Amino acid sequence: MDRSTSPASRRQFLRRAGLGTALAAVVGPAAAFPLSSTEPAMQHADQKKIGFAIVGLGKFATEQMMPAFKETRHARIVALVSGSPDKAARLAREYDVEARNIYTYQNFDTIRDNPEVDVVYVVLPPALHAEYTERAARAGKHVLSEKPMAPTVAECQRMIAACQQAGKKLMIAYRAQYEPFNLEAIARIRRGELGKLLQITADHGRIVDPVGDKADTWRVVRKMAGGGSLMDIGIYSLNAARYLTGEEPTEVTAQEMTDKSDPRFKEVEDRIHFTLRFPGGTLATCTSAYSIQQVKRFRAFGSQAWLDLDPATDYDRHRMTIGDKDGQHEPPLKEGNQFAAELDHMAECVLQNKTPKTPGEEGLRDIRLIQAIYEAARTGKAVKV
Amino acid sequence: MDRSTSPASRRQFLRRAGLGTALAAVVGPAAAFPLSSTEPAMQHADQKKIGFAIVGLGKFATEQMMPAFKETRHARIVALVSGSPDKAARLAREYDVEARNIYTYQNFDTIRDNPEVDVVYVVLPPALHAEYTERAARAGKHVLSEKPMAPTVAECQRMIAACQQAGKKLMIAYRAQYEPFNLEAIARIRRGELGKLLQITADHGRIVDPVGDKADTWRVVRKMAGGGSLMDIGIYSLNAARYLTGEEPTEVTAQEMTDKSDPRFKEVEDRIHFTLRFPGGTLATCTSAYSIQQVKRFRAFGSQAWLDLDPATDYDRHRMTIGDKDGQHEPPLKEGNQFAAELDHMAECVLQNKTPKTPGEEGLRDIRLIQAIYEAARTGKAVKV
C-alpha cells in the first residue's frame, strides 16, 4: 500500500502518525484536519515509511548511507537528485525508485509537488548545504543535512530559519550520536562510571587524496568544502568532546600545521590541533589531519577510570576498552547500523513531531566552534566562546 | 674475584676496561698508568662489574630498579645510602651489600674513600638531585640521576659542571630510551617506515595519592618535587616526542587544568596539556595528569602509517600496533628489562669511557622545555624555545 496512490490511506496514515497541520499543507486540503497529539504515533511500524529524497549520489551516499535504508524501520528512499542521469537511473533501479522521482539540480524545486517525499537528505559538499536546505524547506520538505552543517555561521542560521519558517524539521547527520558504542560511552560517563570526567583526547585523521579518489576532489577546494580536515573529519573530535561531556566549551586554543607546498593544501588546512575547556573542568585535546593514515579514536579519562573507543567513529568494527585500577577490559558490545538508526530517528521525528536529537542548532554550535578554532590557530591566542 | 680486595686485580681490571686517568685518581697512584684506548673494553663481561651505590631506598628503587641488577651484565649494587638504618640493613642482606658499605645522608661524602663504588645512582626526590650529584662528583664518583634531572635549569647546569670538573660521567635515567619497544619505535621511524613523521600524541597520567601511598607524599610538595604531574610523568610524553622525532622543538603552547580545591594540588599542577612544534614539521600534542587512571601511551602518525605504543612507558607488558592502508597489526616484539639495559649502559659508559646516550644535557633540555611549558600555561602564549 503506497500512500502516493491512495489519498484515503494517506490521510489515514497522517492521522495514525500524529502529524500536525504543517505536513497537511504539503499534501493538500484533503489532509488538513486536526490531529490529536495524544494519538499513538505508529501502531504498526512496518505499515508506513517516511519517504526520503537523496540529494547527491557520491561515494558516501551510495556506499554507506543508501544501503542502510534496507535496515531501517521507518525510512525508505523514494526519490533521487543527481546531476548524473545514468547513475541516478542505475540507483533508481537498485532502490526501487520510480523513474518520475528522479530529479536534477535544475528541476529540484518541483519536488514540492511530490507528496511521496517527506524528507530531503542533503549529501552534497558543505558549501551547497544551505542552498539545498533552503530550497527543500521552501518546497515543504523536512531536511536532513550532512555535516559540517555549512561553512559559515550565517549559512547555518539561514538553514535554521528556513526550516522554522516552513514548519519543517531540520536535522544534522551526526551519525556517531546514533552509533551504539558512542551511545554506550555517553551513558557510562553520565552514570558516573569513570568518576569525574577530567580529560578527553580525540584524534581524527585520514589521507585526503583528491587525485586518486574522486570523492575527495571537492574536499581540497575551499569554496566547496569551506575548510580542510577540521570541517571534514576533525569535526568528529569536536562533536565527540561535546557529546561526551554534555557541555559547551568556554575557550578554545589551536595550532595548525599545514605544508603549503603540498598541492593538496593550497586552499585548505591539513593538520590542526585544538583544545576545548569545558565549564565542568574537562579539558579536551583534539587532533584533525588530512595527511596521516586513518585514525578515528577518542579516550575519555575520569578520576576513576578511562574509556577508550578505537575506532570510535568508523562505519563498523568499533572497540571499547575500559581502564581502571584493576586493569583493562573490553565490554562485550554489539555492533549496530548507525546509519539506519540515524535515518529512523529522522523518520520518527517526522512521524511523532519531535525535535531531532541533532537539530540545526547542534550543527551551528560546531560551526561556531570551528570558526573559533580557526581564529585561535590564526592568532595564536585562546578564544573565548 | 672482588677488585676491592686485590689492588693488583683492580689495576688489571682498569687496564682491561680501558679506563682513563680520571678514574685512576680515585683509586690512588698505583692505578695511574696510561691505558691504551684501543684495548678491548671487556674481554670477559662476567669477570667484573661496575659498583653502584643506591642513594634513596624508596618504592621505585626497591621494587623496580634494584631487582633489575640481577639481570645486568656489568652492574652490581655495592653500597646503599639511606636515612633508614633498618631498611638499609634488610636490603643490604638481600643484595649482598657489606655492612660497611651502608651510608647515611650525613656520612655520604665518605663514599669517596670507597673504591668499590664507581657510580652513585641518585633516586631521591628531584629537589635533592643537584645536591647529591654534586656531592657524588666531588667524591670522585660517576653519577646516574633519576629524572626529572632537577627542578630548575640552574641546578641542571650545576650538575653538569660538577661532573665535568670531576671528570666523571653524568647520565639521566630515561629508562624508556633503553626499553626495547621504544627503541623499535624509534628505529622504525628513522627507517622511514611511517613515511614522513607528522604528528605525535603522547598521554601520561596516573592518580597521585599522597595519603594512601607513602611513595607519593613528596610528589605534591613543591619544594621536593619541583612541580606536579609534568615533572613526574608528563616528562615521559615530552621526552618521547623528542626521541621519536629526533629533533628539538622550536615552540611550545600549554593549557593547565588544576582543581585548586583538591588538597593534593595546593602546590603542584594536576593536568597540563602541551604542544611542541618541531622544525621538521611534526606537531606533538601531549598530556600529563595526576588525577586520571593510569595511561602511558603515545602514537606517532606518519604520512604512510601510524605506530602506537600502549602502554608505551610502563614497566612491562608493552604493546605496539601499526596502522596503515591495509589495516592494523601488532609486530611480535620481545619484552626486555629496560632497567637492566639502562644500568648496563651506564656501566659500559664507565668501562669504555663513553658518553651516556642520555647525558646531563638530555635532562637539561627537558627541564628547559618544562619551564617553557609552565610559562606557556601561565601566560596563555606560545613560547619560542
Question: Is the pLDDT confidence value at B29 over 90?
Answer: no
**Whether A299 contacts chain B with CB within 8 A:** yes
Question: Is the pLDDT confidence value at A56 over 50?
Answer: yes
Q: Worst-scoring range by mean pLDDT, A167-181, A255-269, B43-57? A: B43-57
Residue A190 has which C-alpha cell? 553520565
Distance, CA of A75 to CA of A337 (rounded, Å)? 14
**Whether B273 contacts chain A with CB within 8 A:** yes
What letter would DSSP give residue B359? B
Query: Burial code of A175-192, b = ≥16 C-beta within 10 A, e = fewer?
Result: bbbbbbbbbbbbebbeee
Which amino acid, one-letter code, is at B302?
G
SS3 content of chain B, % helix, strand, coil (to 5): 45, 20, 35
Residue B158 has which C-alpha cell? 650545576
Instruction: Find the helix or strand (DSSP H, E) in which B80 lies.
Output: strand B75-81
Partner residues linked to B52 by β-bridges? B77, B119
What crossing angle do the helices spanning B180-190 and B235-245 adopt, rounded to 10°?
A: 40
A382/B382 Cβ within 8 A: no
Query: Burial code of B8-47, b = ≥16 C-beta within 10 A, e = fewer?
Result: eebbebbebbbbeeebbebbeeebeeebeeeeebbeeeee
Partner residues linked to B120 by β-bridges? B53, B143
Distance, CA of B113 to CA of B136 (rounded, Å)? 12
- Give chain A's end-to-end CA distance (angstroms, integer): 51
Q: Region B264-269: what's the mean pLDDT? A: 98
What crossing angle do the helices spanning B129-138 and B153-166 adopt, rounded to 10°?
A: 10
Q: Worst-scoring range by mean pLDDT, A11-25, A238-252, B272-286? A: A11-25
CA-based nearest residue to B202, from B109, B64, B312: B312
pLDDT in tens, A270-282: 999 999 999 999 9
Distance, CA of A298 to CA of B287 (rounded, Å)? 14
Question: Is the pLDDT confidence value at B66 over 70?
Answer: yes
A198/B292 Cβ within 8 A: yes
- Give chain B's end-to-end CA distance (angstroms, integer): 51
Under 8 Å between Cβ of B188 and B264: no
Backbone angles phi, psi at A61, to 5 degrees: -60, -50
Q: What pLDDT does residue B343 have?
A: 98
Smallest Cβ distance to A293: which of B285, B301, B381? B301
Query: For residue B382, what is the nearest residue in chain A, using CA coordinates?
Result: A380
Distance, CA of A240 to CA of A174 (rounded, Å)? 10
Tell which wins on pLDDT, A247 or A2. Answer: A247
Question: Is the pLDDT confidence value at B332 over 90?
Answer: yes
Residue A377 has which C-alpha cell? 590557530
List all residues of chain A from 309 to 338 with a beta carbon under 8 Å from chain B: 323-325
Measuring CA to CA, how many Å separate B12 from each of B15, B41, B168? 5, 12, 21
Distance, CA of A33 to CA of A342 (rounded, Å)? 30
For residue A47, name the pLDDT band (cuts at 50, 70, 90).
Answer: low
B292/A303 Cβ within 8 A: yes
Q: What pLDDT does residue B129 have?
A: 98
Helices (H) and strands (E) in chain A, counts: 13, 15
CA-based nearest residue to B254, from A312, A282, A28, A382: A382
Q: Worst-scoring range by mean pLDDT, A39-53, A349-363, B117-131? A: A39-53
Tell which wins on pLDDT, A11 or B184. Answer: B184
CB A217: neighbour CB atoms within 10 A?
15
Strand order in the sheet with B320-324: B327-329, B320-324, B305-309, B291-302, B197-207, B283-289, B271-277, B251-257, B383-384
B325/A201 Cβ within 8 A: no
Question: Is the pLDDT confidence value at A133 over 90?
Answer: yes
Find cell 555517553 and name the residue. A186
The ipTM, to two decimals, is 0.84
Q: Is B147 one of the catalytic residues?
A: yes
Using CB atoms within 10 Å of the CB of residue A193, give its burial: 0 to 12 exposed, 13 to 18 middle, 19+ buried: middle
Query: Torsion-angle region of residue B326: left (phi > 0), alpha (psi -120 to 50) or beta?
Result: alpha
pLDDT in tens, A303-360: 999 999 999 999 999 999 999 999 999 999 999 999 999 999 999 999 999 999 999 9
Question: Is the pLDDT confidence value at B41 over 50?
Answer: no
What crossing angle do the helices spanning A235-245 and A360-379 adopt, rounded to 10°?
A: 120
Q: What pLDDT does residue A48 have?
A: 82
A293/B302 Cβ within 8 A: yes
Q: What pLDDT does residue B47 have?
A: 55
**Residue B255, helix vs strand vs coil:** strand
Which of A48, A147, A168, A296 is an active site residue? A147
Maximal C-alpha separation, chain A = 65
Arithmetic mean of pLDDT over chain A? 90
Q: Region B91-101: what's the mean pLDDT? A: 98
Q: What pLDDT does residue A45 have?
A: 46
Distance, CA of A249 to CA of A245 (rounded, Å)? 9
**Whether B285 contacts chain A with CB within 8 A:** yes
Question: Is the pLDDT confidence value at B22 over 60?
Answer: no
Query: For residue B202, what is the nearest residue in chain A, using CA coordinates?
Result: A201
Q: What pLDDT does residue A91 have?
A: 98
Residue A269 has which C-alpha cell? 588546512
A257/B198 Cβ within 8 A: yes
Measuring CA to CA, how many Å separate B313 from each of A211, A324, B181, B206, B298? 40, 17, 9, 12, 9
The strand pair at A291-302 and A251-257 is best described as unpaired
CA A212 to chain centre: 26
Question: Is the pLDDT confidence value at B62 over 90?
Answer: yes
CA B280 to chain centre: 26
Residue A85 has which C-alpha cell? 542521469
Q: What pLDDT does residue B98 have?
A: 98
pLDDT in tens, B138-165: 999 999 999 999 999 999 999 999 999 9
Question: Is the pLDDT confidence value at B107 over 70?
Answer: yes
Partner residues linked to B289 by β-bridges? B205
Sign of CA dihedral A355, A357, A360, A361: positive
Smallest Cβ distance to A271: which of B199, B292, B295? B199
Domains along chain A with CATH numbers: 3-175+343-360 (3.40.50.720), 176-335 (3.30.360.10)
Provide the percentage of residues in chain B whose pLDDT is more than 70: 88
